[in-house]
Structure 1
């Protein structure tokens, strides 16, 4: 399974050979590629097989899934139509989604994804496209439909994949965080930001609470969503203003601040080894930009996982500060 960083010229050759590709790279590189069986998203951060974590603005990360594809159907969805993504997916493979960060469809998916019709009927995996951190607020993340040759900043692109007979698909998540033993936090409404929080049932200003208790905002809030631990990462905390998140909190869900971590990078490496995932059947993986920054992954490998570093991960729904991966096995 080809997962590697390549020059645009080499990527163009793969497209012209009819390969089915998932691509990640800078906008100007993706815009110049010919039409073909590919979808892509903007990001310049990657984990590569050779150099580990790196930044590249002149190369493209390529995931060639041709060997596990019987057929594909590429569709573009806006925030009003994305609710059909599971219904459209079929039942013989997986769907791969790329969503531009900070777009209407990003917000809609984050808030409504678990309530979509036929949620979970087929594996959905993917990522949130982004930009170089120096360009935050200056340029907008994009996604690309290579079949039609179009770029989008307000819509999601999805490749519905039917796999050959005799193969099965699994989605996995690596999450180094667990709930700490502190206060139980709940929120009055769903959203990417809040002013107030209920602390053990008592209303407080959340920014003041974080400051007073010296919470480490590199550690996310963690909720138990019916047996799965889901992280809500902090984007910003301004005294006297809203607390902003990279994924939404939900009313009625009980959150706790994550258990403190003494050595972020070491624990992440331990969790990777615990998963005991064989590299041979990993079709795709991606890791969060916050893991990249806080673990100091530049120049470090996360074997057997390689791929784009993202502004959010999708494993059925939006996730933060996780690594997600797709495996295709022979039955």
Structure 2
């Protein structure tokens, strides 16, 4: 914001200010991911959380893509539109704004825009959405249809789009094909939804928790496999069910064994496996080279291969046209005053997404 620095009093000695090259937003709705805790220290205090929808309150000097009053989805990864990745039709891994869990400051000047009692509070993966106001690089906000309800589309700024895009953009299942989805958490359910939208005729959910199976039917799953119910590798079970293997698989757990199974269960000649889950840093992926020579394809994906600013508005339009049923992902909604209830639900793994309403 250059010489027009703006500071918002958040009470208790805290403040959030908009700086050069940033966009400050008035957050309205926060989606709390279930089955995943985003708490814990990294040596410094941070404003955390990801899934979010908001309205631009003010913009910094030189920001022209968005303006006060615009409805946006803040995203943990960005799109500068200038680097080789942004200019490539095949990549969404922006050189400038790719997710960085260690940075904690604004790119322009290396400083935080948050403080409490004079001490800095650092940014979290470029979003810091657990706040009434946040400051972000303009490349990390996607301008969306102002008619889209923010208390619904807020869930599209992270995990749901990741799973959806993994199927639609990366696996690309042909109409009438068979797809296996490993892991039926929120991202896996979104992958199943993506396979449904793409026209897959069989969607096989693979999970160790059978209580998720009935819920997964709402997202297009037609069959289910619990690996614990079989005395043979699950890839063999799937091959027997599908006359040699599935056409596509999407792995959403991050478990290295599930990743190997997802690859080895696809049909030779044309099968494609897509890895979405993030494995342990020391995990090793081991499979026989013949699995590749027999023309199976293994792919990885980041945020469903969506370019945030370019593609997320189109994902929102899928919802507006009733082609994407976002409401199925929202199992709870609470005001900020009941946030402890939301954390309890998350800790118990109950539900998919809980909306926290930032009400005055």
- TM-score category, normalised to shorter length: under 0.3
Question: Which structure features the higher share of strand residues?
Answer: 1
Greater length-normalized contact order (CA 8 Å, ≥ 6 residues apart): 1
Q: Compute the TM-score of the two structures, normalised by the length of structure 2.
A: 0.26
Q: Compute the TM-score of the two structures, normalised by the length of structure 1.
A: 0.28
Higher gyration radius (CA): 2
